[in-house]
Amino acid sequence: MSLIKNHKWIAALALALLISLGISIYSLAKVSGGSAPDTGAGMQQRGGEGASFRSGERGVFPGNRNGSQAAGQQSRWEGGLRSAASAGDSSAAGDFDGWPQSTAEGGSQNAASGGKDSSAQGQNGGQQSEVPGDPQNAADGSGSGSGFTRPSGMNPGGFGSDGQYGLALAVYAALFAGLLGAAFYYAKAGRLRINESRRGLLIGLLLAVGLFLKLAAAPWISGYRGDIRFFTTWAQEAAHGLGSFYENSSSDYPPLYIYILYATGKIVTLPQIESFFLTLIKLPSIIADAVTAWLLYKAASRRLPFETALLIAGFYMFNPAVLINATFWGQVDSFFTMIVVAAVLAVTRRKLGWGAFFLTLSILMKPQGIIYSPVLLFALLRTGKPGPWLKAAAIAAVTTVIIALPFSAGKNPLWLYQLYSSTVGEYPYASVNAFNLFGLLGANYKNSSSIFLFFSYHVWSMIFIAAATLLSGWYYLRSRNAAFASLSALLLISGVFTFSSSMHERYLFPAAALALLACVYFQDKRLLWMAFGFSATIFLNTYAVYYGYTSRGGHVGFLLFFSALINIALCILLVRVMLDRSRQPNALSLEAALLPEQV
């Protein structure tokens, strides 16, 4: 008993780990026994895509990456109907129950328009099509771009979620906010003291508890069905060979994450693994949550009291905004954010070669990685030497060639550039369910070429992006502090999301981690409030789209109005913080804000 009393924190977390591990094993055992609910994403052995995986069947999706339809293509968009395979290609029809299919003349497999970053919302969660020539598109002038959009929300059998666990998730978010607020309050009052010498074990136990709890929940939550189905089909196609992946799949993702899907596709062909396909799709992002939390802890442990560093890691690991993205939705923003945080950490430590490496990986993961590239450019500018530029360029080039080479056989040398170009132009809308300025103005799914106050939404977007980039660069260079990379990265993503066009609801996701990282480096309690604020708006935006509380029209609901205003206010506050910190780099200490003076 004395051992437990002396190490009560480790004992409590060890008990929590045993419980979470037991729940996870039980959950996965039930899935293996076929007791998991039908996800509708074809993950189960009873007739979905997972069942046909080894037979080599490939699902066919309407449209292509350029948003056009193949000649003679026929599409069926009525819910629950299945299209017939074209003559001579019996494998063209996917094995998706209730999945709208399309076939091209001659049995060719089409690529999906928009690929993964679409979360288009049908009114009231119902299915809507958006194909070239659709009257709705003609009416609002948005007929160009994506060949189809995907409705979100409670839409069983369709693209969106099945609507389950919404109340439980909302209750969890409220409890999390209350408990976290109490934890920081007790820390500030000096009543949170962790007298443990084995601090590495303690943080390891905390992150392991979070990981196993998410792993236990993952198989029972069907996710955003359209996105899960895309990942399923891409994993299947990648397993057939990387060289022909982009010709035979619907993917518009750059190559990096395809390696993860390749491994997933190979693993699922092993005996008794097939029923865990949905879990395997979510697993990389769930692991990335723990890695990002660990990176934040490592940065914080060097500058802040252990209690505060532990709170920051727990804040991220159990954050509802993080939970809904990977464990519920099944998206990959957690994996992307892990790479971005690693890149920013490298730049803050003046390891620009590693910064170039991780930044290149982020761009090869998602085109949104380009948003963070100015951070490295600012750091290189401050060196005033050509050597770091050449080294960074060489590392970026070699990394790109190595990652892209297995996909490049028989392709145009510019194929990767063309992939990015087609992806960037897929959603020519002022907003794509983003709770930002253009969403606040009622421009959700309004064509970005539409005029607003003398300029088009697209032109306004370019103006705001230029302003955010110049501001972040000005403060970074003025501060002469390498740690300003975290603030610059935060301003870039929050400014671009809040004031730019073609933003999806999930693009703000890295802001939660970057706000915590900036808080660690600058020890400013306003940045801690930003971490709370961005976490709240990220959660509300993702929750609204996932559960179907958004509208494609100009209607501005309470969640959009409230969240968009908060995002705008947080951006303004961030500019003020950067101004203050560039003038007074040694101002307010987070340790002083959270903890009393040490006795």
Q: Which residues contact 34 (CB under 8 A, 6 or more apart)?
A: 44, 45, 46, 275
- Does the pLDDT value for residue 104 go beyond 60? no
Whether the CB-CB separation of 228 and 116 falls below 8 Å is answered with no
Please choose, from the candidates 325, 329, 296, 320, the residue with its C-alpha nearest in 3D space to the C-alpha of residue 310.
296
Highest mean pLDDT among 132-146, 156-170, 439-453: 439-453
Q: Rg (Cα) of the chain, in Å, rounded? A: 24
Kindly write down the DSSP assignment for every residue of 579-590, as one continuous string: HHHHH-TT---H
Phi and psi torsions of 530, nearest 5°: -65, -40
pLDDT band per the 50, 70, 90 thresholds, residue 39: very low
- CA torsion 58-64-68-72 (nearest 10°) is -10
Per-residue pLDDT of 344-392, as tens digits, reads 999 999 999 999 999 999 999 999 999 999 999 999 999 888 999 999 9
Predicted confidence (pLDDT) per residue in 249-258, tens digit: 878 899 999 9
Per-residue pLDDT, 391: 95
163 or 78: whose pLDDT is higher?
163
Per-residue tokens: 196: 């443990």
State the DSSP string of 342-378. HHHHHHHTT-HHHHHHHHHHHHHH-GGGGGGHHHHHH
Percent of the chain with pLDDT over 90: 49
Q: CA-to-CA distance for 508 and 494, rounded, in angstroms? A: 6
Predicted confidence (pLDDT) at residue 101 exceeds the cutoff of 60: no
Question: Which value, to the nearest 10 degrees, does the dihedral of the CA atoms of residues 494, 340, 428, 543 take?
Answer: -70
* Dihedral sign (CA 98, 99, 102, 108): negative
The DSSP letter of residue 38 is: P
Contact, 311 vs 187, CB < 8 A?
Answer: yes
- The pLDDT of residue 248 is 85
What's residue 180's pLDDT?
87
* 135 in Cβ contact with 83 (< 8 Å): no
| Mutual angle of helices 373-383 and 457-479, in 10-degree steps | 40
Residue 154 bridge partners (DSSP):
161
Give the C-alpha separation, 358 to 356, whole Å.
Answer: 6
3 state SS of 141: coil
Assign 37 to helix, strand or coil: coil
- Please say if the pLDDT value at position 53 is more than 90: no
* Separation CA 498–CA 276 (nearest Å): 37
Q: pLDDT tens digit string along 535-548?
A: 999 999 999 999 98
pLDDT-derived band at 527 (thresholds 50, 70, 90) equals very high
Helix (H, G, I), strand (E, B) or coil at 17: helix
Q: Is the pLDDT of residue 550 over 90?
A: no
Looking from the CA of 469 toward its CB, the CA atoms found within 13 Å total: 15
User: Is the confidence at residue 525, as pLDDT, over 80?
Assistant: yes
- 3-state SS string over 65-121? CCCCCCCCCEECCCCCCCCCCCCCCHHHCCCCCCCCCEECCCCCCCCCCCCCCCCCC
Three-state SS at 456: strand
Least confident piece of the model among 2-6, 80-84, 195-199: 80-84
Helices marked H in 480-599 — which ranges? Answer: 484-499, 510-522, 525-546, 558-583, 590-594
Query: How large is the average pLDDT for residues 92-109?
Result: 33
Per the rule left: phi > 0, alpha: psi between -120 and 50, beta: everything else, 115 is left
Residue range 68-76: mean pLDDT, rounded: 32
Cα distance between residue 379 and residue 386, in whole Å = 12
Mean pLDDT of 280-297: 96
Q: Which amino acid is at 92?
A: A
- Exposure letters 575-588 (e unless 16+ CB within 10 A, then b): bebbeebbeeeeeb
Question: 155: pLDDT confidence band, cut at 50, 70 and 90?
Answer: low
For position 49, what pLDDT does the model report? 35
* pLDDT for the residue 103: 32
Judged on CB neighbours under 10 Å (0-12, 13-18, 19+), 33 is exposed
Angle of CA points 336, 340, 342, to nearest 5°: 115
Question: How far, in Å, are 140, 541, 585 from residue 580 at the CA level?
Answer: 44, 30, 8
Question: Which residue did the predictor score with more confidence, 120 or 355?
Answer: 355
436 CA to centre of own chain:
17
H helical segments located in 366-506: 373-383, 386-404, 415-424, 437-440, 457-479, 484-499
Q: What is the DSSP letter of 330?
A: -
Q: What is the mean pLDDT of residues 105-122?
A: 39
Of 63, 154, 42, the residue nearest 115 (C-alpha): 63
118, 102, 106: which is closest to 60 by C-alpha?
102
Mean pLDDT score of the chain: 78
Question: pLDDT by residue (tens digit) across 441-491?
Answer: 988 889 888 888 888 999 999 999 999 999 999 999 888 888 999 999 999
Question: What is the SS3 assignment for 414?
Answer: coil
**The one-letter amino acid at 304:** L
Whole-number Å distance between alpha carbons of 316 and 30:
29
Contact call for residues 291 and 211 (beta carbons, < 8 A): no
pLDDT at 196: 64
- Distance (Å, rounded) from C-alpha 355 to C-alpha 382? 15
Please report, rounded to a whole number, the percentage of residues in the chain having pLDDT higher than 70: 73
For 45, the 3-state DSSP assignment is coil
Q: Shortest CA distance to 114 belongs to which of 227, 282, 248?
A: 227
Of 49-53, 74-78, 169-173, 342-346, the poorest mean pLDDT is in 74-78
φ, ψ of residue 512 to 5 degrees: the values are -65, -45
Angle at the Cα of 101 (from 282 to 239), degrees rounded to 5? Answer: 45
For residues 237-265, average pLDDT: 90
Calpha distance 384→567 (Å, rounded):
35
Residues 53, 236: Cα–Cα separation, whole Å: 7
